[in-house]
Amino acid sequence: MHGGDRRRPEGSPDPHSAHGESWRAARLGTPPSHGWEPEPPPPTLSLPVTPPSRQGRDFSFDDCGRAFTCLPAEEPGAPAEALVCNLDSLLGTMTYRLCVGSPPGVWVCSTDMLLTVPSAPVIDWDGFQGVRVIAVPGSQAYARNHGVYLADEQGLVRDIIYKGTEAQIQQCAGPDGTVPLVCGVVFFSSDAAEQLLATHVIPPLDACTYLGLDSGAPPIQLSLFFDIVLCMAGAMTEEDFVKGGGDASVRSARSMLWTALRAFPLSMACISGASYDYMTTSASDHIRSLTLLPGSASHLHFCKTAHSHVDVCPCIPSLAHACFLGVALGCVARSQSHVPLCPWQQPCLLEDGSSVTNCLLEGAVQLAASSVIQHCHLQGPVEIGPGCLLSGIARGSSLALQGCPLRDVILQGHHVQLRDLPCRVFTLTGCLDDWQSPAEEATYLNVPWAEFFRRTGIREGDLWDAEMPQRSRCLLNARLFPVLHACEALGLEDVLWLLAPAAVASERLARWRTAWRMSWQELMPCLDKAAELGARRALFFLQGQRKVQRVLLGRQDSSLLPLTRSAIHEGYHEAMLGTLDEVASTTGDAGIAARALACIADVLGCMARGEGGLRSGPAANREWALAFGHLESGDIAGGVRELAAERQKWMSRPALLVRAARHYEGAEQILIRQAVMSSCQFVTVGQAELPPLGHWVQVACPARLDLSGGWSDTPPITYEHGGAVVDVAVLVDGCRPIGARVRRIREPELRLVSFSGTPQSEAAVELVCRELEHLQDYFQPHAPGALLKAAFICTQVVQFPSQKPLWAQLMESFGGGFEVHTWSKLPHGSGLGTSSILAGAVMASLYRAAGKSASTESLIHAVLHLEQRLTTGGGWQDQVGGLVPGIKIGRSKAQLPLRVEVEKIPVPNGFIQTLNDHLVLVYTGKTRLARNLLQDVVRNWYARLPSAVQNADALVSNAEECAQALRQGNLPLIGKCLDRYWQQKKCMAPGCEPLAVGRMMDALRPYSYGQCLAGAGGGGFLYILTKGPRQKEALHQILAKTEGLGNFSIHSIEVDMGGISVEVVGCNPKDGAQPRRDVAV
């Protein structure tokens, strides 16, 4: 081993990691799984992690040590939200980068450095034996204060040079001039690891373990690099190695290591593009490592504000006010920023090049570049200049910072345990101070000690005992920091005065002198790491509560589910529930309140920890009726209070938690309905001639094909994100398959007749309503005639509820009652929009039969209203597709009230016929069941799962691309949009592709430009855009030869350029019959 300094190299692992007493894999900050499982590490990975009480060399800038120093980074894809510490970063680098492809063995990694490695490092493991060290390229200038490897052309290590001469370092340089730096990572093959571990029971090496210590042996401290790795270096001789051991016990240990390990070859892998940054005791170096962005090779994403809430706009007194202003200005915020947005573009108080981690900064807290704040709750106005590090300052203490600008200082609050007395101690040092340099040569608060003494009046005798030699006096052992006072409580001001000018300092000197003070050297053994971690945890969830408010009130597309999982694991779920209750009850916005209730449902669901049954299910227990009643009446605050009160009765076991979660989703649906019903203002009803008594008003409608964008029309996605859907009105087997007819009759009653099923198994449901009570189940979708009852109420042909009986209303307004017939020639669950289009047909015929008129735009919004009253939910694409003729794109903006705007898509001449020739419709024989699909989609959207948000963006952009392809008449491009659309549907609603449908699509893929299941998927109709024209018979032959498809049928399909038709057809008794069915399904 060359070099004059016997200390181990900077960047090498802690000597304790060689003891072999704490071999375990660890992950700090990520809770155990609750319904989710992290990806397991490779089987070759085993990392030594030193317990918090034995973290090696002391670290001045984090009471929990280098391993647990928090980094200004977030992991958006993590299943649970947590602070990212250095150990997290190292585990990620080792597990998913360095360890990939390695043979069985043991990896050892230092935790006192920041390591960056490319995503796919090149390490050749062919023929590997023995031990391999990992190096990173660095400059020769940097190597003068660090360790470097000297390796031969075969990559075998000959020596380790630490703080070597220029000539020695030059020997290690490669062709590009860089040298391989020691970075603290070593891999032992299984043979080498077994041989090393076998020595731990043999004296004197047993003195490195608790077994030897408990046997009475004096402890021995060995270095991984100086004592274990070095003995395998090619240029090292046994004599030089053993003699370099110092005392006799270490020389004996080295001799044994030589015997055990010398036979193993020591090779080196220098990772191109990698880098490491040793965490020194230099404050400026530490600040630099936390404020500079990591290289492109890093798997971490550093950010200015990590897990922090920052008020950057003092002109806005509250977040709710900011949200109101944003809405008033027409700004729908979808940013994922961690700071509230200001409509007046106030200058940011956090300069670029600064860093804030796990903090709550309220008011005007200004932070200059090259400064760091961690684990602080500050109340502005506070001004922090460049070169500062603040850590562990609570809100009450931060008041002392007001009017006290800081620059180039390190200000920290510490949790200290003095026997049974816990207390808070503050330390203050300069950015340029050196802890161990003699005072006569060093600085304190960046000025010479002599100048500091002159300014403050402090004397050397106040800091050091008289018998301490001058050369031993340093910042490390200076008793500067007040701990206790006999008469007064101490605070941050008792160290801040050390920065004050002489006139102010004189007032504080006496108080400082009478306080019991300790040096940093004396404080370190008393640091209470458990209390420090607890305070960080509490602050993390306090800023997490602010994040909940910020995300919900700011309508941000950030997921709160990872924070929810962490809060439940750490016992902060009640605080989170309280915050969500507050947001829901005070917002005054039904859309925001609905999302807050959905988040409460997620909290309850996560608390069940995967037990208690399915999340989707009924939500009509009478115990929740009072709360639901408040919400239905528009009393959101009262409803949220009643929900919270009822919730407390359902928290005792998983089954109750899941049922409570379902009822919160039911409450959320009430608010969604209220938000969607804002579209009623776009329903305009005019007057028309009242048809003669007994004359039928008949309406026939095409079905619809959704070519792209579906799901983006679904509330709440449609008014929170914005939607766009390309639809085509289509004839199936040459006819319009959906229709309704209405006529006035003399009897003051409602005769409701619904035909359904296929010609082979036709069914009719007949119902007569003579009392208003017969309509009261209109909101239960499965009740007989529910859609028709809801149509009478939504068109206001019947007033419900009302004091006036039904017969009186009908006679007074219309001179009699109504008879309604509805039909669909399509099977249930077809995916062609039957129910919504049928609702449009019924409302159009009712309006006309009642002597009223409504435009197609009014009908589109009226159907939205009806389906909300019916509680079936659903979007607007179906009625747009079936009521508006031809090819069109419907759009809705991310705002309320919800308004749908339809644009007809012009296509080239002759393209309609071309499309007809290339479209084929296949009934899969599988019934589509969309209810649970819809619940799952809404749940994922409210949770703002990244996949759901990204997919919503993709759905809208694909719809616009499809519309452009139609304008061009480009069949291949349309087909690509269809295939992409089907992948997007599967992403939005996993499980919507039955196995038989997958086989069908595989068989048809070579003959199609694109294909997709209509509607939500799960069954129903499949439509294919074929490469060749008129392929109906050819496709039938292909499918007939395909096994496992079940009953299917193929149908012709063509674009309907007429759309909805409304006509008065007279009173011939034959007209009362259902139109002939000519669709065979």
760 pLDDT band, cuts 50/70/90, is: low
Closest CA to 846 of 878, 889, 814, 894: 814
Query: Which residues, other chains included, contact 48 with Cβ-Cβ below 8 Å and sequence gap of 6+?
Result: 13, 17, 20, 22, 23, 24, 108, 109
Asked if residue 622 has pLDDT above 60, the reply is yes
pLDDT of residue 762: 66
Query: Which residues, other chains included, contact 610 with Cβ-Cβ below 8 Å and sequence gap of 6+?
Result: 34, 35
Asked if residue 840 has pLDDT above 60, the reply is yes
Question: Could you tell me which residues are beta bridge partners of residue 105?
Answer: 189
pLDDT of residue 871: 83
Q: Exposed, middle or buried: residue 717 (CB in 10 Å: 0-12, 13-18, 19+)?
A: buried
- Number of other CB atoms surrounding residue 1046 within 10 Å: 12
Question: Could you tell me which residues are beta bridge partners of residue 725?
Answer: 890
Asked if residue 168 has pLDDT above 60, the reply is yes
Lowest-confidence pick of 111-125, 760-774, 1025-1039: 760-774
Average pLDDT rounded to a whole number, residues 477-504: 91
Asked if residue 379 has pLDDT above 90, the reply is yes
Quote the DSSP letter at residue 650.
Answer: G
Average pLDDT rounded to a whole number, residues 701-725: 96
Dig out the tokens for 351 from the structure: 């300069």
Average pLDDT rounded to a whole number, residues 380-397: 95
300 pLDDT band, cuts 50/70/90, is: confident
Asked if residue 48 has pLDDT above 50, the reply is no
What distance in Å separates the CA atoms of residue 680 and residue 686, rounded to the nearest whole number? Answer: 15
Mean pLDDT, all residues of the chain: 87
Cis peptide before 897, with omega less than 30 degrees from 0?
Answer: yes
pLDDT of residue 61: 94
Report H helices in 920-1067: 931-942, 946-968, 971-988, 995-1004, 1032-1040
Lowest-confidence pick of 23-37, 155-169, 681-695: 23-37
Q: In terms of pLDDT, which residue wins out, 1069 or 926?
A: 926
pLDDT digits (tens, 9 = 90+) for 841-863: 999 999 999 999 999 999 999 99
Question: Residue 915 to residues 288, 377, 1028, 1052, 1059: CA-CA distances in angstroms?
Answer: 63, 64, 11, 12, 17
Report H helices in 763-876: 786-794, 806-814, 834-849, 856-869
What distance in Å separates the CA atoms of residue 406 and residue 761, rounded to the nearest whole number? Answer: 84
SS3 1034: helix
Instruction: Report whether 171 contacts 150 (CB < 8 A).
Output: yes
Average pLDDT rounded to a whole number, residues 154-164: 92
Question: Residue 566 to residues 34, 78, 287, 303, 610: CA-CA distances in angstroms?
Answer: 10, 11, 28, 21, 15
Q: In terms of pLDDT, which residue wins out, 338 or 714?
A: 714
Average pLDDT rounded to a whole number, residues 1014-1025: 92
SS3 44: coil
pLDDT digits (tens, 9 = 90+) for 194-246: 999 999 888 888 888 888 888 888 888 888 998 999 999 999 999 999 998 77
Instruction: Report whether 821 contacts 753 (CB < 8 A).
Output: yes
Strands in 315-354 per DSSP E: none
pLDDT of residue 504: 72
Asked if residue 975 has pLDDT above 50, the reply is yes
Question: Could you tell me which residues are beta bridge partners of residue 685?
Answer: 854
Average pLDDT rounded to a whole number, residues 462-476: 95
- pTM, 2 dp: 0.85
Average pLDDT rounded to a whole number, residues 440-457: 95
Asked if residue 939 has pLDDT above 90, the reply is yes
pLDDT of residue 295: 61
Asked if residue 323 has pLDDT above 50, the reply is no
Asked if residue 256 has pLDDT above 70, the reply is yes
Average pLDDT rounded to a whole number, residues 992-1006: 92
Give the H or E element holding residue 546.
Answer: helix 529-553
Report H helices in 233-308: 238-243, 248-261, 283-291
27 pLDDT band, cuts 50/70/90, is: very low
Lowest-confidence pick of 38-47, 470-479, 793-802: 38-47
Average pLDDT rounded to a whole number, residues 627-651: 96
325 pLDDT band, cuts 50/70/90, is: very low
φ, ψ for residue 94, nearest 5 deg: -70, -50
pLDDT digits (tens, 9 = 90+) for 715-734: 999 999 999 999 999 999 99
Average pLDDT rounded to a whole number, residues 1040-1051: 89
What distance in Å separates the CA atoms of residue 857 and residue 973, rounded to the nearest whole number? Answer: 30
Average pLDDT rounded to a whole number, residues 299-316: 76
pLDDT of residue 344: 31
Report H helices in 347-439: 395-398
pLDDT of residue 935: 87
pLDDT of residue 981: 97
Beta strands 365-367; 382-384: pairing state:
parallel
Question: Residue 587 to residues 319, 523, 552, 883: CA-CA distances in angstroms?
Answer: 11, 48, 10, 37
Terminal CA-CA length for the chain: 86
296 pLDDT band, cuts 50/70/90, is: low
Asked if residue 53 has pLDDT above 70, the reply is no
What distance in Å separates the CA atoms of residue 365 and residue 350, rounded to the nearest whole number? Answer: 8
Angle CA 900–903–905, to nearest 5: 145
pLDDT digits (tens, 9 = 90+) for 962-971: 999 999 999 9
| Percentage of the chain exceeding pLDDT 70 | 88
Asked if residue 331 has pLDDT above 80, the reply is no
Beta strands 266-270; 309-310: pairing state:
unpaired
pLDDT of residue 215: 85
Type of residue numbered 155 = G
Give the H or E element holding residue 575.
Answer: helix 573-586
pLDDT of residue 71: 94
What distance in Å separates the CA atoms of residue 696 and residue 73, rounded to the nearest whole number? Answer: 69
* CA-based R_g, the chain, Å: 37
pLDDT digits (tens, 9 = 90+) for 523-570: 999 999 999 999 999 999 999 999 999 999 999 999 999 999 999 999
1074 pLDDT band, cuts 50/70/90, is: very low
Question: Could you tell me which residues are beta bridge partners of residue 1022?
Answer: 922, 1013
What distance in Å separates the CA atoms of residue 570 and residue 81, rounded to the nearest whole number? Answer: 11
Instruction: Report whether 382 contacts 364 (CB < 8 A).
Output: yes
User: Which conformational region is residue 925 in: left (phi greater than 0), alpha (psi within -120 to 50 degrees), or beta?
Assistant: left
Instruction: Report whether 809 contacts 802 (CB < 8 A).
Output: yes
Lowest-confidence pick of 185-189, 640-644, 677-681: 677-681
